[in-house]
Amino acid sequence: MALKDYMHGIRIQENPTSVPTPVKNEAGVPVIFGTAPVNLAADPERAANRLFLCSTFAEAKAAVGYSEDYEKYTLPQSMDAFFRVFGVGPVVICNVLDPKAHRADYTETLDLVDGQAVAKEDGILLKGLTVKNGDTVMEDGKDYAVGFDDGGHVVVAVLEEGVASVTVSGSRIDPSKVTYGSVIGSYDPDTGMETGMELVRRVYPMFGLVPSLLLAPGWSQDPRVGIALSEKCRDISGMFRCECVLDIDTAKAKKYGDVEDVKAESGYMDENMICVWPMVKYAGRKMAYSAIYAAMACHTDCSNDNVPNLSPSNRPIRVSAAVLQDGTEVVLDKDQANALNAVGVVAALNMNGFKAWGNNTAAYPDTTDPKDRWIACRRFFSWWGNSFITTYMHKVDDPTNYRLIESIVDSENVRGNSLVSMGKCAGIRMAYGREDNPIGNVLDGKAVFRQYLAPYTPAEDILNILEFDPSMIEAALGGE
């Protein structure tokens, strides 16, 4: 036994502050695309273009790595928003930074102090790293040891005495080489390989979970990414539907009056889109508003029995400022925030603490159908439809008889009545009618049901009319 292993006396040890265990959101799983420092991941070579279901911050960090540099890496801001700010999970994350493709050569000479040195560059890949003492190639584990410090920089510890400096060379990941095309992804018909957003279809087959929100913070302000994300909201895995959260580009929309034009130019006008503006600041760092908004929306669902009938508007987003891409602070008043709401954009409004402010999807004002206008209603319809599919999937291919019809109709009406009794909607009713099911369709194996949903619309405008009543003065002072 080494002398250092012999303990006698009293000691302490400090551990890093733990991130609380997240509450579990069962209303669906958010799916997040972006870039991460995969050189810090448990398995860097298997961290690109894969879906990771993460229930804790530690799981996400091990899967794709973590950095506080939101400018270089976009996934960590969602990891912070979901697990640290709102403490809600799970999430599905997909890193599109491929260390095999998005890389650059690395060489650095390090001066040793007490046998150790820290590399100035970040993103260094340990695999393939070469350490030289002059012209002599040193042997890993025998002549030196390497690892990462808390900031993600490589630390080289030389075990041989008398070495003043070493030259380290190899490769580093280069996030600047990731493009919008990497995030959108592609499908290779020859190999069957899918990348980027093409992987959305795998969420349900892999994890048995239905996507609830799609987002790509740091990328969705690019219309090419935002529109591609919206297109992925429909017919997911051939069955499901959800919404996406998109950022309005603050490099173009530098004041609230610019937002309407930038939104229109971006083509953000679909009911599946929830548009947000501007950016926000968390822990002194700029963060895409979509990251914190999505986390807040999922936390709201979780706190409401996992039913997404509540509007995410007028709810705290737990940030310190609203900002533009260049760091300029944005100070909105209610009238300006309402002007953004009027064009289908959710604002960040400071009312003794920052809150999300806005109930309309991006389809508003062109679309006024309550189902597609209100964020809460649109999400409720998607959630209810998805839950119907997952609930009755096992009945597909059963005999089309009255037992099947009654079981679905009765079950759905009971399920709807329970939500009505909880005050989560005004009514839900299902029916099976002969007019929708002629004998030819039945013989062809088809069964059509009609379901009527009435989630409550948000009380967006509450008016109290004040009027002076002289009779009260007369009654108070007039005596008998």
pLDDT digits 0-9 by tens, 209-229:
999 999 999 999 999 999 999
Of 132 and 4, the structure prediction assigns the larger pLDDT to 132
Let me know whether 163 and 301 are in one domain: no
In a domain, 49, yes or no: yes
Q: Percent of the chain at pLDDT above 90?
A: 87
Residue 392 lies in a domain: no
Q: Give the start-end residues of each E strand in 35-152.
A: 51-54, 88-89, 91-95, 103-111, 116-122, 130-133, 136-137, 144-148
CB distance 61 to 18 below 8 Å = no
pLDDT for residue 154: 93
The total domain count for the chain is 3
Q: Among 226, 176, 178, 241, which residue's Cα sits nearest to residue 362?
A: 226
Inform me whether the pLDDT recorded for 17 exceeds 80: no
Residue 13 above 70 pLDDT?
no
Residue 407 located in a structural domain: no
One domain for residues 354 and 225 = yes
CA angle, residues 92, 274, 368, in degrees to nearest 5 = 140
- On the question of pLDDT at 22 being above 60, the answer is no
> Which of 150, 173, 196 is the last residue in one of the domains?
173
Please check whether residue 16 lies inside any domain of the structure: no
Using alpha carbons, list the distances in angstroms from residue 210 to 32, 105, 337. Answer: 13, 40, 32
Q: Strand runs (DSSP E) across 300-458, as ranges?
A: 315-316, 321-323, 345-350, 354-357, 427-431, 450-454
Whether 147 and 227 share a structural domain = no
Q: Span 225-245, mean pLDDT? A: 97
Predicted confidence (pLDDT) at residue 66 exceeds the cutoff of 90? yes
Question: In the predicted model, is pLDDT for residue 1 greater than 50?
Answer: no
The boundaries of the domain holding residue 72 are: 23-97+178-370
What pLDDT, on a 0 to 100 scale, did the predictor assign at position 260? 97
Q: What pLDDT does 160 receive?
A: 84
Tens-place pLDDT, residues 129-138:
999 999 899 9
Do 83 and 219 share a domain, yes or no?
A: yes
Asked whether residue 192 falls in the same domain as residue 162, the answer is: no
Please tell me whether residues 357 and 426 are part of one structural domain.
Answer: no
Look at strands 273-276 and 345-350 and give their pairing. parallel
Task: With a cut of 90, say whether residue 19 has pLDDT above it.
Answer: no
Q: Looking at the structure, do residues 158 and 191 belong to the same domain, yes or no?
A: no
Indicate whether 356 and 272 sit together in one domain: yes
Q: Can you give the length of the chain in residues?
A: 480
Could you tell me if 357 and 373 are in contact, meaning their C-beta atoms sit under 8 angstroms apart? Answer: no
**pTM of this structure:** 0.91
Q: What is the pLDDT of residue 383?
A: 96
Decide if 330 is inside a domain: yes
| For residue 90, cis peptide bond before it (omega within 30 degrees of 0) | yes
Is the same domain home to 153 and 183? Answer: no
For residues 277-290, average pLDDT: 96
Average pLDDT, the chain: 93
Same domain, 328 and 456: no
> Could you tell me if residue 462 is inside a domain?
yes
Do residue 155 and residue 244 come from a single domain?
no
Instruction: Please write the tens of the pLDDT for every residue from 362-382.
Output: 999 999 999 999 999 999 999
